[in-house]
Structure 1
Amino acid sequence: MNALLIIGIILIVILAVFLTVFYWPSRVQVEGLPEGFEEKQFDTGQVRLNYVEGPDNGPAFLLIPGQMESWQGYKLVMPQLAKQYHVFSVDLRGHGKSTRTPGQYSYNICGQDLKIFVEEVIGEPAVVSGLSSGAVLAVWLGAYAPDSVLAVISEDPPMFSSIWPRISEERYMTYMFQTAIDALGTPAGRDLEAYFSHMGIPKDGQEELLLIPAPIAKGIAGIVNLTRKMKPGHPYDFPLVPFEQRSGIKFLTEYDVDFSIATIDGRLSADFDPEDALKKVSCPMLLMQANWSRDETWGLLGAMDGEDVERIRALVPGLRYAKVDSGHAIHMGEPDWYLEQVDYFLKDALK
């Protein structure tokens, strides 16, 4: 066979593989709306909140994303929930397409935003389910807007670990937020390569973190930039990457890093008493916990330790508790488990 023909065939195969990898659609894409959902905006009088709303197929159900997450984080569970509920998911201020308000991020401020949203947009009591800081806000709503809440689902909340001054003592948590601040909040723009190159995990018997190797961090940033250029309509749907990681890149590129600054300097938890809030929750409540551990040097690896969970259980009579082998964002890491727990819980809670 002619050498040029062989080279041509090889080049065609390489091109075909390249195009297939980059353009073969992911099962769930980061961009776009789930079937039956609409994207809308609501002006509270102080901020504009971006949200999505599904078809009215039952009781209202509000999904509250966590820090660095927008409504798209719930795309793996929204279609199933929409079969039985009237689903809403809202971008908190400083996230997604909602208003940025540097200097004005706290649980109490965001809680008031959500209280107004439930009263004026949803217009009826709702099940409220949130992740991380959104999980704390779900508790906030159950405590301070009780007439607007049917049940609370709190997904791996940093209920005590995010409160000042304890967060200053949780070295790993603070490091992760500070890394985002340093790499994503620069005057020159967001440096994803710097962010990934400083990501790491504790290693037994070693004080320094085990970091992502610099060439890999550079490669990840390169793939992100290449995908943006090649697929401007789907800039975050990188080839062969799970949804959680693809959507995570989107969230890193758009949230206001002052939200993270507020977390570690104490503004987020200012004038918020988690024990008072938990004591005031009188509706049914489900607490979900993801994996956690403690490192001698870096402290809590996760959102809650065993003592945190016991404090919550002591403060909320009748609490339902469920733990899963998952990363922090349970609804993305273990969506089927999340949906099973929600279904089991609400069968009793909404009787």
Structure 2
Amino acid sequence: MYNNLNYYKTPLRETIKAGFEEKRATLEDGTTLNYAEGPDNGPALLLIHGQGVTWENYSVVLPELSEYYHIFAVDCHGHGKSSKNPEKYSAEEMGKDFVWFLKKVVGEPVVVSGHSSGGLLAAWLAANSPENILGIVLEDPPFFSSETSRAEKTFAWVDSFEPIHRFLRQSEEKDYTLYYLKNSYWVNYFGNGKEGIINYAASYREKHPNEKLEFFFLPPSINKIFHYMESYDPRFGDTFYDCSWMENFDHAETLSRINCPSVLIHASWSYDDNGILLAAMDGADAERAHSLIKNNILINIESGHGVHDERPNEFIQIMIDFLNEIE
């Protein structure tokens, strides 16, 4: 049996013990950005999480990283305790709000590290607000693969964005968590065990409505999918289905305008028998992004998509080494 229901509690406790405080900032238009701020032990570091989680997803690396940086870890729009206004669900609108955050809350130029879609935002900030950026660490962002021509052949699309789109256009199932589970791509890997997982989930949700879904018999990698789902707005994911999140955000053009020190972390990748990319980028995508960013450092690492979570020591070392790049 897995010790999978405590995987997040200890890192979060250690994060709070390290001096992190959860705060909120409100823009002039009423948008709320929830964030955690750590002790001031170095250059400012903005952490932007990936889709479907919150700032707490960084907890496993926050205590040690905070010994070197003054960390601001935000909840993205549509996630956690930040505002859930679909009008803000685009790289451009979120980017503008994060520029406001850098100027009004942080108050000094920052290093930005973003994971997945957060990495896309880190690139947007470096290209469009260079005066506020010391450098960027891009953690396995879906460059090119999440643009219109490629999106439908990615795991994120078939597992998340397409089910979200269908969920929002039906009325029979009100529980997004259950709908997602039944229609996810990964649950099919369990073969004959699929129905048992779905039945257990339905029973659990009936007994524990509005609580996060937990499977005591499945590993943390599965439970983490559902840990933050109650505070996630599916309408955010729908903007990746129709690619409206990418409006006025061409990846190649954006990358070519980045002039600050940068690191691109690329995790393991593969295609399945259906031609679905089971990763954020394939090797060619990573090399293309690397070639477009001036003086970029490309780091290939054997890891799943969540490098900071799965390979925390390596991620922390990359961030420590990056201090030499911005001096």
TM-score (norm 2): 0.87
The answer to whether structure 1 residue 198 and structure 2 residue 175 are counterparts is no
Cα 1:30/1:219, change in 2 over 3 Å: farther
Match of 1:315 in 2: 292
> Contact between 2:4 and 2:220, CA under 8 Å: does it hold in 1?
no
Rounded to whole Å, the distance in 2 between the matches of 1:73 and 1:164 is 28
Rounded to whole Å, the distance in 2 between the matches of 1:25 and 1:103 is 32
Rounded to whole Å, the distance in 2 between the matches of 1:163 and 1:21 is 35
Rounded to whole Å, the distance in 1 between the matches of 2:279 and 2:203 is 29
The answer to whether structure 1 residue 82 and structure 2 residue 66 are counterparts is yes
**Gaps in structure 1 of 5+ consecutive residues:** 1-19, 203-207
Range with greater deviation from structure 2 (301-310 or 159-168): 159-168
Letter matched to residue 77 of structure 1: V
> Contact between 1:200 and 1:210, CA under 8 Å: does it hold in 2?
no
Match of 2:305 in 1: 328
- 2:109 aligns with one of 112, 125, 130: 125
Q: SS at the partner of 1:300?
A: coil
Alpha-carbon distance, 1:221 to partner: 5.5
Match of 2:325 in 1: 349
Q: SS at the partner of 1:136?
A: helix
> Contact between 2:127 and 2:257, CA under 8 Å: does it hold in 1?
yes
Note the 1:205-224 alignment, pairs <5 A: 213-220=194-201, 222=203
Range with greater deviation from structure 2 (300-309 or 120-129): 300-309
The answer to whether structure 1 residue 281 and structure 2 residue 261 are counterparts is no
Rounded to whole Å, the distance in 1 between the matches of 2:300 and 2:87 is 35
> Contact between 2:15 and 2:62, CA under 8 Å: does it hold in 1?
no
TM-score (norm 1): 0.81
Match of 2:79 in 1: 95
Letter matched to residue 217 of structure 1: I
Rounded to whole Å, the distance in 2 between the matches of 1:237 and 1:31 is 22
- 2:41 aligns with one of 51, 57, 65: 57
Q: SS at the partner of 2:245?
A: coil
Alpha-carbon distance, 1:277 to partner: 1.2
Q: SS at the partner of 1:129?
A: strand
Cα 1:284/1:242, change in 2 over 3 Å: farther
Rounded to whole Å, the distance in 1 between the matches of 2:13 and 2:275 is 33
- 1:268 aligns with one of 218, 236, 245: 245
Match of 2:146 in 1: 162
Alpha-carbon distance, 1:334 to partner: 1.4
1:185-229 deviation line (CA, Å, top 9, x unaligned): 865532433322333359xxxxx8765611023325555776789
Letter matched to residue 192 of structure 1: T
Letter matched to residue 164 of structure 1: T
Cα 1:147/1:181, change in 2 over 3 Å: same
Cα 1:291/1:100, change in 2 over 3 Å: same
Alpha-carbon distance, 1:297 to partner: 2.1
Rounded to whole Å, the distance in 1 between the matches of 2:228 and 2:26 is 22
Rounded to whole Å, the distance in 2 between the matches of 1:23 and 1:146 is 40
Match of 1:43 in 2: 26
> Contact between 2:145 and 2:154, CA under 8 Å: does it hold in 1?
no
- 2:162 aligns with one of 178, 186, 191: 178
Rounded to whole Å, the distance in 1 between the matches of 2:8 and 2:156 is 35
Match of 1:300 in 2: 277
Letter matched to residue 142 of structure 2: P
Letter matched to residue 218 of structure 1: N
> Contact between 2:114 and 2:137, CA under 8 Å: does it hold in 1?
yes
Q: Aligned residue pairs: how many?
A: 322
Letter matched to residue 197 of structure 2: I
1:75-123 deviation line (CA, Å, top 9, x unaligned): 0011111111100001111111111112431111111111111111000
Rounded to whole Å, the distance in 2 between the matches of 1:60 and 1:317 is 23
> Contact between 1:132 and 1:303, CA under 8 Å: does it hold in 2?
yes
Match of 1:148 in 2: 132
**Gaps in structure 2 of 5+ consecutive residues:** none
> Contact between 1:281 and 1:316, CA under 8 Å: does it hold in 2?
yes
Rounded to whole Å, the distance in 2 between the matches of 1:22 and 1:138 is 31
Please, what is the CA RMSD of the aligned residues? 3.2
Equivalent pairs: percent with the same residue? Answer: 33
